[in-house]
Chain A
Amino acid sequence: MSAVVTSGLPSQQPLPERRPRAIRLERWLVVSASLLAAAAFFWPFFASYAPREAQGLVPIAAIALIPLLAIAVSLTLDRSLRVSRAVALLGVLAAVGSIVRISTVGIAGVETIFIVLILVGRALGARFGFLLGLLTVAVSSVVMGSLGPWTPFQMFAAAWIGAGAGLLPLRRLRGWRELALLASYGLVAAYIFGALMNLWFWPFAVGADTTLSYVAGAAPAENIARFGLYTLLTSTLTWDTVRALTTVVGIAAVGGFVLRALRRVRL
């Protein structure tokens, strides 16, 4: 039994073996669930292709489908959470993200959640960024008591942004260049997030019978034009711009030390 134990592993416990096939399957499942979720966001543009008698059901189907997808994708990724360090880190970072999010709620459109999501996604990878996006929205909604039909939509949009940060190229980039890359991604992501959130909510928010309304059965171009004006008016020029600026300033201010601290952590 006498032996020198010089540990290089984070834990003595042998990590559960994950075969490449299992990982490929997981990736495939997450991508398909994401595509289905995207369909639930983008339905207003394609609903005209549905049979006429089913068109009234499309919005209801979208709202019912997305929570189920959120659960399915969580269970799929759960297989990668067999190591206690990953679970603890994920939970704690979701709490950090929630604090950051909640502490700035109500300050004219300032939305800081992306700062955390983008930095973590970059440092710890796409899968972790995806999970953190799902969980941060879930935790902050539970804590704020603001669960609603919007919650699963926000979860997916946040998850995509976290995963996107993990998929960014130029892995070796460090220092201010890396922060510049992340800040530009944050700028784009902030606008995309705003547009996505508007997209699913637009038909419900405006209701029927206005000239800005989603028209079931109309040509996609017509609905896209209506949505374009809706999103420009409601958020792109105002909230989304403030959100994009906060994200850029936030990443520039804290990005350096947050990335350094996260990279010291091994999963």
Chain B
Amino acid sequence: MLPRYILKRLLGAIPTLLILITIAFFLIRIAPGGPFDEDKALPPEIMANLEAKYNLDQPLVIQYFLYLGSVARGDLGPSFQYSDFTVNELIAEGFPVSIRLGVSALFLALLFGVLIGTIAAWRQNSRLDYALMGSAMTGIAIPNFVLAPILILLFAVYAGWLPAGGWGGGAARNMVLPVIALALPYMAYVARLTRGSMVETLRSDFVRTARAKGLPEWKILGKHSLKVALLPVVSYLGPAAAAIITGSVVIEQIFGLPGMGRYFVQGALNRDYTLVMGVVIVIGLLIVVFNLIVDIIYALIDPRIRYE
């Protein structure tokens, strides 16, 4: 049943991706300027040759279908800006960086968010609860592009413990600040979600029964309640992942990480049509796949939901 469900969902995502590709394609094409604009205009013959080479001399609609055809074959085309590379190669280079950043941040946000939320709900309306939820609210209110420079200032410039930026070949030291800066707002949000649903769960009958049976508190919290209380958190995972992917554009720029987000903004500014389109497609796919995973997890922990 599960493989069929996955196949159905992936097929259902095709129209979404098609709409995304269409909007992005025509949006960037109607923009003034082109990929070969330089301070000094190129001689017309060279320009014509270049355009012919990349099919840019064809009518826009023909180009669109040519592009769709090559995307369907998995070829995202050559990059205009990095003329020795294909877009596939560039994305293969940037993708692991972005994924590592994003997955670490999501993991961190979930782990600590759930932990903090559970503790706050367990000690509801205590000073600890107020302190934790107050900090969570602050965490939500400080956008990560504000947080990142402050973290750099504190831990890299003043204290000198961690590097202020750069990839460093993927060293863990270089990942600490970007991951924290990316994760904190979502950690705070997860903490609030967890606390909210945990408070409600702790009031329910089965928890009272568990208490009456004399189960230890950690078992009631960790085993019985958490499973129910996590449902809203799981359904937040989809939007959270999309937000983290978006947020990593800024984080990559602040910390100078060689991920996909940097290619996207640079590519758009330089009218590197294929590179921009490639990043948009990969991100659209990522979101589709991630939402699918979230739905499967959701069905696994909530037996009332069945794959349809």
Is A bound to B? no
Which residues does B use to contact A, with CB under 8 Å?
Answer: none
